[in-house]
Structure 1
Amino acid sequence: MKTIKHILRKLNLGLLVAGSVIYMGCEKDDTADVVESPPIVEEVPEEKPAENDYKLPEIDLSNWKVTLPIGNPSEVEPPEILDYATNENLKRFMYNDSTDGSLVFYTYPESSTANSSYSRTELREQMQPGSNNKNWTFEEGGKMRGRLAVPEISKDNDGDFHRVIIMQIHGRLTDEQRDLIGEDDNNAPPILKIYWNNGRVRVKTKVLKETTASDQEILHTDAWGDDEGFNFSEEVGHEAFTLEIKVTEAKMEIILNDDETVVYDSKHIQRWGIFENYFKAGNYLVSTDENAFSFVKYYELEVIH
C-alpha cells in the first residue's frame, strides 16, 4: 500500500473510475478503500413531438359550387372547389379556421346575381358535380344538416346587426317549364330562407297569392309572396348551433339544436311539389350598406337524398 501511495504522490495523479473518485488510505496495519457509489440517474423517457393541435372541418364539397361577391359574380365548381385553400379567387372568402375546425365564409356588398341585390359567399348544391341540371323534388325528398355560427357581423346605422341568410331551399324551373311560360332562365322562387337575425334564427317561406291559380300560373315567380315568418325562441347569439331541414312530399320541417321544430305542410307546400329544388348554405348578406360584412362558420354540413 505504501508503494501505491508513493507512486501517486510522485506522479501527482488522481484515479477516476466510472465518474467516481476512489480514495485509498491506511491506519496502522489496517487498510480501507472507500468507493463512492455512482450517482443514480433516473431514466428520462424520450420526448415525443407534440401532436398537432389544429382541426379541419369535415365537410365534403364534392357536390357543391360556391358563388363569390366578386366578378359577375364569380363561381367555383367541383372539382376546383376542393382546392379552396390554395385557390387565389377563393381563399379570401372561403377558408379554414384551424383553431376550431370550421370552414369560414366571408362576404361584403359588391357583386350580386341577376335576381338579387345582395352579395354572397354561398354554396349551391349540385347533385351532379359541375352541373345545375340535376335537382330534386319534394316527392323525392332530402335532408340538410349543419352546425354553424355567425361569430361576427356588421351593424346598421341604428346599431342593429345586419341580417344574413345561412340556409335555403331554392326552386328551379325545368327547361320545359321555362319554355312553357316564356322565361329566359330557370329561376324559380326560394321556398325556404333561414336567417340569422340579431342573434336568433328566423324562417321565411313562400305562399301563393291565389290558392286557386293553375299549375302553369304558379310557375311564375310573381305568383308567390312571403309568409309572416317564424322566429325560434332560443337565442343562439354568436355561438355554434345546429340546424336541420327535412323535406318529404308536401312537408318541410326545420329543427334548431335538435329541440325546437317548425313544420310546414299547408296547401302552399303541397302545390310547391311542381318545382325542382336545390339546397344552399353559407353567407348571404342581406345589406348593401357601405362597410357591411359578415362571417359565417360551418363546422359540419351534410346533405342526404
Structure 2
Amino acid sequence: MKFSLVNIYKFRGVLLILVVLVFNTPYALSQSQQNDESKQTEAKKERGKRKKRKKKVRLPEIDLSHWKVTLPVTNDKGKPYEISPPEILDFASNEVAKPYMYIDSTKGAIVFHAMPTESKTKNTKYTRSELREQMVPGENNVNWTFKDGGYMKGKIQMDEVSRDSDGKYHRVIIMQIHGRLTNEQRDLIGEDDNNAPPILKIYWDKGKIRVKTKLLKNLNAQIPEILHEDAWDNDEGFNFEQEVGFRKFTLEVKVSDGKMVIILNGNEYKVYENIHMRKWGVFENYFKAGNYFQTRDKGAYAKVRFYELEVSH
C-alpha cells in the first residue's frame, strides 16, 4: 500500500486526536484526582499523628517555686533528702528524686511515690514524698496564721496503693496544715525545734476522703500551756460521703480567723468553726501536699498523682 505525503499527514492528525481524547477521558482525570486525594489523605494522617504526639505530652499545672519536697531516702548526713527552691524546679532531672517524684507526661501529673524506708522525719515512724509550703522560697521561718488566712486547692488521684494483711488498702495522707512554733515560742517552752501539731490531716482512706483535726483539752489554756503538743488531742475524724476510689477528685482547704473549711469536688463541705479553731490562732502554719504513707508494712507502697496544686494567702 502506497502512502502519499498527504495521507501520512492525515494519519498523524488522527493519532494526535486519539491521544488527546485518551488523556482527557474521565478515567484519566479520575486517576489524577485519586492521586491528589491520596496525597491529601496521607498529609491529613501525618498531621493527625503529629497532633496526637503533641497531645500525649502534657505537663501538670503546678508551680513549685514556693515548695520544698521531702523524699523517702536519706542524704549523706542520714537525714531525709530534701529539695528546696530553686533546685526543685528542675526535679525531673534529679537522679535521687526520679524514683519518688516524677512527671507522668501522658497524664499531665506529678507522681509522688513512697514506701517504708529508713528515712523518717522527726516525731514520726512513717516516710513521705511530700511538698512543704515555703512562703519565701528556701525559707522555713516565714509562715502564716489563721488570721492571715490561706487557701489550697488540688486535683488529685490515687494511682496505686498496696493492701495490708487483711486485704484492705493502706492509708495515705495527701494534704495537711501543719502547725509551727515561732522561735520565741520554742524557747519559751524549752523545745529543741519549731514543730507543733498538725491542725489538719486529709487522708485517702480505702477509697474515701477522711479528715482529722485537733481539739484543745483544756479550753481555758493560755500561753505557754497551749503551745505544748500534749495540750491538744485528736478528734474522732470525719468521712466525706462521696467515694473517690481511684478516680480524679478535687480538694479545697479554706482557712480564715477561727474557721477551717474542707471541700470535696466542689459540692460536699466540712466546716470547723469553734473554740478549738479560735485557740489555734496562736500558732503559725504551713500547707503540705503529696504522699505521706501511713504504714511500715514490708513491701508496701503508694503512688499519688497531683494534676493541679495552688496556694494563696
Determine the structure 2 residue equivalent to 1:299.
Answer: 307
C-alpha distance in 2 between matches for 1:101 and 1:256: 21
The answer to whether the aligner puts 1:107 opposite 2:114 as a matched pair is yes
C-alpha distance in 2 between matches for 1:179 and 1:3: 123
TM-superposed CA distance for 1:298, in Å, is: 0.3
Identify which of 179, 197, 219 aligns with 1:211. 219
TM-superposed CA distance for 1:5, in Å, is: 9.0
C-alpha distance in 1 between matches for 2:69 and 2:126: 15
SS state at 1:179 partner: helix
Identify which of 243, 253, 260 aligns with 2:251. 243
C-alpha distance in 2 between matches for 1:233 and 1:151: 21
SS state at 1:69 partner: strand
Which digits, 9 at most, give the CA deviation of each residue in 1:25-54, with x for residues without a partner?
A: 48xxx9563122163323334454612122
Identify which of 67, 86, 91 aligns with 1:84. 91
| Higher helix proportion | 2
The answer to whether the aligner puts 1:174 opposite 2:170 as a matched pair is no
C-alpha distance in 1 between matches for 2:168 and 2:278: 36
Output the amino acid matched with 2:23.
S
C-alpha distance in 1 between matches for 2:80 and 2:165: 27
CA 1:6–1:302 in 2, change beyond 3 Å: closer, same or farther? Answer: same
C-alpha distance in 2 between matches for 1:25 and 1:272: 109
TM-superposed CA distance for 1:214, in Å, is: 1.7
Which digits, 9 at most, give the CA deviation of each residue in 1:84-107, with x for residues without a partner?
A: 110111111111111111110001
C-alpha distance in 2 between matches for 1:197 and 1:56: 27
| Higher strand proportion | 1
Output the amino acid matched with 1:224.
W
The answer to whether the aligner puts 1:195 opposite 2:203 as a matched pair is yes
The answer to whether the aligner puts 1:164 opposite 2:172 as a matched pair is yes
Which digits, 9 at most, give the CA deviation of each residue in 1:155-191, with x for residues without a partner?
A: 0001101000000000000000000000000000000
Determine the structure 1 residue equivalent to 2:62.
Answer: 59
C-alpha distance in 2 between matches for 1:120 and 1:302: 20
CA 1:5–1:101 in 2, change beyond 3 Å: closer, same or farther? Answer: farther
Aligned 1:243-262 pairs, distance under 5 A: 243-262=251-270
Report the number of matched residues. Answer: 286
SS state at 1:147 partner: strand
Which digits, 9 at most, give the CA deviation of each residue in 1:217-252, with x for residues without a partner?
A: 010111111000000000000100000000000000
Output the amino acid matched with 1:65.
K
* Deviates most, 31-40 or 92-101: 31-40
CA 1:231–1:6 in 2, change beyond 3 Å: closer, same or farther? Answer: same
Q: TM-score, normalised by structure 2?
A: 0.87
Determine the structure 2 residue equivalent to 1:116.
Answer: 124
Output the amino acid matched with 2:262.
I
C-alpha distance in 1 between matches for 2:288 and 2:7: 95
TM-superposed CA distance for 1:215, in Å, is: 2.2
Determine the structure 2 residue equivalent to 1:15.
Answer: none
TM-superposed CA distance for 1:2, in Å, is: 5.4
SS state at 2:88 partner: helix
C-alpha distance in 2 between matches for 1:275 and 1:83: 32
C-alpha distance in 1 between matches for 2:269 and 2:210: 12
Determine the structure 2 residue equivalent to 1:18.
Answer: none
Kindly name which structure, 1 or 2, has the bigger radius of gyration based on alpha carbons: 1
Determine the structure 1 residue equivalent to 2:18.
Answer: 34
Q: TM-score, normalised by structure 1?
A: 0.90
Determine the structure 2 residue equivalent to 1:140.
Answer: 148
SS state at 1:185 partner: coil
Gaps of 5+ in 2: none
- Aligned-residue identity in percent: 56
CA 1:6–1:222 in 2, change beyond 3 Å: closer, same or farther? Answer: same
Gaps of 5+ in 1: 8-23
- Aligned CA RMSD, in angstroms, stands at 1.9
